[in-house]
Structures are given as structure tokens and as C-alpha cells.
């Protein structure tokens, strides 16, 4: 049996990252999480359920109990990022909207590391090359498309994963714009 690819998740404690970690572990992959030195803080995630740990500290403890290998590093620290990348085969970036453009730092580190078989940039929404969005959403799509062009220009093997924004914007509150959790008494169908 061939060894499985080692998967690194960047942004493992976020709304999407934790699920990618859990799915990778469940699939039996050697799973790594890039964590900042100060990432173990007491902070509640946006959506808390009985199945989800309530703090980043509990989440990281959960990762450890599942056998996830924690690699200390930061997107803004090139050397720590290259060091982490040299230990894995596949990189899945799950960082949020505010770090989209910082993925150029990951791309530069991937090029330097020279061993990454596949990169999944932070996408997880609409296909940014096939949309008719208007501002302010269009601006976000332009940034994501720019990251795609950098990945392609650098010749890095990649996969763009688009789930059409359903989980990020509609599922957790059933498209009720002012709700932070799924409503229990009334739902407005848009």
C-alpha cells in the first residue's frame, strides 16, 4: 500500500478549517495544522454546537487527541512557512476573507519548498472566474481571481474548490441575514 499524502491545513481553527481537519483525519490522512505561537487563546468561534469545541484551546486540544500534528508557523513568517511546507505534500488554505491576498506569501513559500504536490487556495465560494457579481462582492472575486493567476503563473499544481457559497452564507443561518444561528420559530424564504 502506498503511503498517503501528508495534508497541511492553513487556517485550521476557522469556520471551514476545522471541518477540513476533521475530514482529513477521518479519511486516514496524516494531517498537519499550521498554528501561530499565540493561537491558543480563549475565543469563541462564530458557530458553537455540541459537536464543536467552544474555544480555540479546546479545538487545538481536540486536534491533538485526533493525532493532528501541529506545526508552528505564520503566513507572515516566510521561514516558518517554508519549514512547515517541507514536511507535507498537500496544502489546503482555509483562511478567511481578510487574508486572501496574503496567499501570495504561501505561494512564494511553496515555490521555495519545492515539494508540494497540490495547493488548494482559499476559495470555497462562487467560481470567481464565472460570475456577474457587483461591488462590494465583485472586489473580493477580483482578489481571488488574482490569486488564481499567481498560482497558475508560478506553475504550482492546484485545485480550485468552489461550493458556491452555500455553506458559508446560507446554511448556518438559513439565509436569514440578521441571524447568527438557524432560526427556530420563523424562516423567511428569499
The catalytic residue positions are 144
Give me the residue label for grid cell 476533521: 22
Whole-number Å distance between alpha carbons of 133 and 126 = 10
Give me the residue label for grid cell 446554511: 171
Whole-number Å distance between alpha carbons of 47 and 111 = 35
Encode 40-65 in three state secondary structure.
CCCCCCCCCCCCCCCCHHHHHHHHHH
Q: Which cell is 94 given? A: 482555509
* Short-list 34, 128, 45, CA closest to 82: 34
Amino acid at each position: 500500500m502506498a503511503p498517503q499524502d501528508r495534508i497541511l491545513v492553513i487556517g485550521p481553527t476557522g469556520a471551514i478549517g476545522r471541518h477540513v481537519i476533521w475530514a482529513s483525519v477521518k479519511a486516514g490522512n496524516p494531517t498537519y495544522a499550521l498554528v501561530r505561537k499565540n493561537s491558543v487563546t480563549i475565543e469563541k468561534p462564530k458557530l458553537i454546537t455540541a459537536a464543536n469545541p467552544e474555544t480555540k484551546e479546546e479545538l487545538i486540544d481536540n486536534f491533538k487527541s485526533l493525532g493532528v500534528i501541529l506545526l508552528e508557523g505564520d503566513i507572515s513568517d516566510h521561514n516558518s512557512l517554508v519549514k512547515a511546507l517541507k514536511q507535507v505534500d498537500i496544502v489546503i488554505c482555509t483562511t478567511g476573507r481578510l487574508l486572501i491576498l496574503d496567499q501570495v506569501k504561501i505561494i512564494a513559500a511553496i515555490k521555495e519548498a519545492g515539494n508540494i504536490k497540490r495547493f488548494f487556495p482559499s476559495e470555497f465560494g462562487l467560481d470567481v472566474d464565472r460570475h456577474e457579481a457587483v461591488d462590494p462582492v465583485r472586489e473580493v472575486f477580483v482578489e481571488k481571481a488574482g490569486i488564481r493567476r499567481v498560482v497558475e503563473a508560478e506553475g504550482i499544481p492546484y485545485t480550485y474548490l468552489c461550493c458556491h457559497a452555500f455553506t458559508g452564507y446560507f446554511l448556518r443561518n438559513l439565509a436569514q441575514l440578521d441571524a447568527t444561528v438557524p432560526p427556530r420559530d420563523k424562516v423567511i424564504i428569499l
